[in-house]
């Protein structure tokens, strides 16, 4: 069976009516599994839109619990969730939004030792993290497992998004080859990660549908203070330590991932 149910056809009717999607495309979304690393300002928005669009399975990983200072931008969480694991708070909201979407929470810090298990069986990876070291772990795992990686970053009123396709485009470390920069919390206003994550989720949907037009070999940069958007060309670094000719992606092991009930 390669169709959606009559109930799903009603739920997704406004997007099924698009020629780029149709019933066949909606079934592709239903069959897809997406991994979201971090369920904060970026992950909240991307998870919400992907669940609403009918992605069949979303795996979310985050070690943190909800804090009051999260609530200006992390829209899946509310005041009553303070102190709860973010993954469980998010799963509750996503299941309430769309019972047809299976949400798998993983309450762990992302490391070299567990990342391969976390992304196993996934079609695409979305970056909702807030530090370069974790992003590099995810980037190298995406290369090793040949899974596209959609990056986003925000700072103040600015944001960036790019889609990395292993073997075809530059990778994250071609773009950011140095060590992590600023330490500690980075200031931002809620709509900025909302914009970046909305673009991320649209990139994921387009990839799953195979419609093209992805942010490949381009970094989309936007500035919310004057509402300017520009695309910056990216090139592969032949000496990249992650995807270059002499790449060293490191050693990974495979402990069982810890899901929450």
Q: Would you say residue 75 lies in a domain?
A: yes
Q: Would you say residue 169 lies in a domain?
A: yes
Give the C-alpha separation, 92 to 87, whole Å: 9
Q: Would you say residue 161 lies in a domain?
A: yes
Q: Would you say residue 153 lies in a domain?
A: yes
Q: Would you say residue 207 lies in a domain?
A: yes
pLDDT, residue 93, reads 98
Q: Would you say residue 186 lies in a domain?
A: yes
Q: Give the Cβ contact number of residue 124 at 10 Å.
A: 25
pTM reported for the whole predicted model: 0.93
pLDDT, residue 186, reads 81
**Mean pLDDT, rounded, for 2-11:** 89
**pLDDT tens readout for residues 62-113:** 999 999 999 999 999 999 999 999 999 999 999 999 999 999 999 999 999 9
Q: Are 35 and 115 in contact (CB under 8 A)?
A: no
Q: Would you say residue 9 lies in a domain?
A: no
Q: Are 222 and 228 in contact (CB under 8 A)?
A: yes
Q: Check pLDDT > 90 for residue 3.
A: no
Residues in contact with 168: Cβ distance below 8 Å, sequence separation at least 6, in sequence order: 216
pLDDT, residue 178, reads 75
- Please provide the average confidence, as pLDDT, over all residues in the chain: 93
pLDDT, residue 146, reads 97
Q: Would you say residue 129 lies in a domain?
A: yes
Instruction: Specify the CATH number for the domain of residue 143.
Output: 3.40.50.720
How many domains does the structure of the chain reveal? 1
> 86 lies in which domain range?
32-233
């Amino acid at each position: 069976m390669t169709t959606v149910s009559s109930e799903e056809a009603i739920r997704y009717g406004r997007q099924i009516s698009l020629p780029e999607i149709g019933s066949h495309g909606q079934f592709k979304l239903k069959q897809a599994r997406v991994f979201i690393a971090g369920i904060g300002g970026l992950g909240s928005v991307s998870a919400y839109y992907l669940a609403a669009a009918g992605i069949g399975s979303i795996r979310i990983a985050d070690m943190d619990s909800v804090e009051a200072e999260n609530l200006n931008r992390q829209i899946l969480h509310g005041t009553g969730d303070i102190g709860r694991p973010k993954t469980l708070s998010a799963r509750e909201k996503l299941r309430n939004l769309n019972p047809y979407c299976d949400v798998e929470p993983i309450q762990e810090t992302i490391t070299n030792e567990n990342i391969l298990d976390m992304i196993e069986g996934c079609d695409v990876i979305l970056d909702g993290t807030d530090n370069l070291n974790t992003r590099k772990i995810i980037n190298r795992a995406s290369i090793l497992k040949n899974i596209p990686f959609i990056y986003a970053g925000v700072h103040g009123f600015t944001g960036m998004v790019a889609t990395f396709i292993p073997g075809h485009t530059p990778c994250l470390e071609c773009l950011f080859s140095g060590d992590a920069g600023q330490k500690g919390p980075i200031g931002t206003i809620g709509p900025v990660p909302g914009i970046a994550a909305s673009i991320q989720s649209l990139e994921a949907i387009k990839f799953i549908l195979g419609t093209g037009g992805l942010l490949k070999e381009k970094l989309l940069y936007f500035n919310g203070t004057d509402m300017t958007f520009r695309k910056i060309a990216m090139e592969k670094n032949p000496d990249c330590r992650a995807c270059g000719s002499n790449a060293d992606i490191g050693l990974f092991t495979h402990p069982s991932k810890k899901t929450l009930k």
